[in-house]
Amino acid sequence: MNIKNKSLLNNYIYYIKIEKGLSENSIESYKSDLTNFFDFYDEDITAISNDKVVNYLLDLQELGLVNSSIARKTSAIKNFFLYLIEENIPIKVNIEEIPSISYNRHLPDVISVEEMFKLLDEIDMSTSLTYRNKTMLELMYATGIRVSELLNISLHDVDLSDKSLLIHGKGNKQRLLPIPDSTMEYLLHYIKIERFDLKKDKLIDTLFLNNRGGKLSRMGFWKILRNCALSSGITSHISPHTIRHSFATHLLEAGANLRVVQTLLGHTSLDTTQIYTNVDINYLIEEHKLHHPRG
């Protein structure tokens, strides 16, 4: 955040605390929402246009943030610009022309952190197949990868020493993702013991295998996820995409930087020779560790 934006934000926080008398929780919410907005556009906030405000809110929709959170962030942004107007600070935004974000189109299903923990923590681990299920779901929630990316992971994509995962995404783009320690424990055990039992005598590089020692299908994974949800007593509709969007939503709700989440999800242009264009890997690791519920 540049010096000018930081100064304006600090003045606004002082204003809502001293003059408006908002609660500490409300102040923290405003500060978090506005900080994320400022970080998204690395320029003076007074130069931001209406289009950029709308694009920011639409990006939050694309990441799967729940409606109530988007409404709260919209309110925080508008109230901040109203404050600037009252302080006679020139801005480009015309608040009356910022349209309400349409929620008519279907937003991805998201489950709460509590439901996610219930789903993950109640998976049976007594057999090689059920331990594989536990490892897959833990890895999906820890990284936000797509189901197609999960099923295409090879042993060579996992760096056990660096605790990182190389993902081959859409359009032959690659991204490197940190694996938190809690997930790494399951992954190590699965690779060394359970996967060895599943592959039988086959020579196969695929990480997650079916009961015949071959590559797991998307339909096979969908059935596994459905059975895990039923066993844990979760009645919400859960699909592989639910885990991905819950990953993004939980990080954003905890205050993670939007650009970091976009990079983790693979929404930025990355290739084999320049994996990171905007975010350093060490920053990714620290942001993930700080904000992810399983970090």
**Cα 264 to Cα 189: distance, rounded to the nearest angstrom:** 25
Taking only the tens of pLDDT, the chain with its 295 residues reads 788 889 999 999 999 999 888 888 888 988 998 998 888 877 888 888 888 887 787 677 667 676 677 778 888 898 899 999 999 999 998 888 776 654 444 445 788 899 999 999 999 999 999 999 999 999 999 999 988 899 999 999 999 999 999 998 877 788 899 999 999 999 999 999 999 999 988 899 999 999 999 999 888 898 899 899 999 998 877 888 889 888 888 888 788 887 788 888 887 543 322 222 234 455 566 667 766 887 6
What is the CATH architecture of 113-291?
Orthogonal Bundle (1.10)
Strand order in the sheet with 174-178: 158-159, 164-168, 174-178
200 a catalytic residue: no
The CA–CA distances, whole Å, from 78 to 84, 125, 149, 234 equal: 10, 49, 38, 37
Match 């695929």 to its residue by tokens.
206
pLDDT (0 to 100) of residue 252: 81
131 a catalytic residue: no
No. of helices (H) and no. of strands (E), the chain? 13, 3
pLDDT (0 to 100) of residue 279: 44
The one catalytic residue in 132, 146, 195, 294 is 146
134 a catalytic residue: no
**Cα 15 to Cα 21: distance, rounded to the nearest angstrom:** 8
Query: Does the predicted model carry a pTM greater than 0.95?
Result: no
Which residues share a beta bridge with 81? none
Q: Where are the domains of the chain?
A: 3-97, 113-291
Two tokens, residue 227: 């059975």
**Cα 76 to Cα 135: distance, rounded to the nearest angstrom:** 39
Q: What is the DSSP letter of 96?
A: G
Domain topology for 3-97: DNA polymerase; domain 1 (1.10.150)
106 a catalytic residue: no
Are 134 and 126 a contacting pair, CB within 8 Å? no
